[in-house]
Copies of this chain bind each other. A is one copy, B any other.
């Protein structure tokens, strides 16, 4: 087991689709999130804005089954290779990286976020 370097208790995680090889999102994990990801086989992260651990898909149902975890030469960044249920982005696009710097949309919309996140009584 390598010695991962956490900065302010966090390590950046790049999430890649194991099939298409598309980069789906980037998020952060703390030690507990990495441990839970390894133990459960599903992607966990730490939300800097909400200051809490989260399991991807816990609200949307769009879970990420993690098939491989890689780290880089400096051991300060991770890749989760995943099988994505639904889509990765809360906007409904398959990947969070659906735009160029000029704002041109190059991604594919997969679901309607109004329907996924705003359930009756939710």
Residues of A bordering B, CB below 8 Å: 1-2, 4, 12, 14, 16, 20-23, 25-26, 34, 38, 68-74, 77-79, 89-91, 93, 96-103, 106
- In the complex, 9 of the A-B residue pairs with CB atoms within 8 angstroms, ordered by the A residue number, are A1-B101, A12-B12, A21-B21, A34-B101, A70-B98, A70-B100, A71-B100, A73-B90, A73-B96
- Asked whether, in the complex, the Cβ of A16 is within 8 Å of the Cβ of B23, the reply is yes
> How many identical subunits does the complex contain?
2
Does more than half of chain A's interface fall in helix, strand or loop, or is it mixed? loop
Residues of B within 8 A of A1 (CB): 101-103
CB distance from A70 to the nearest CB of B (A): 4
A102 nearest CB neighbor, chain B only:
B1
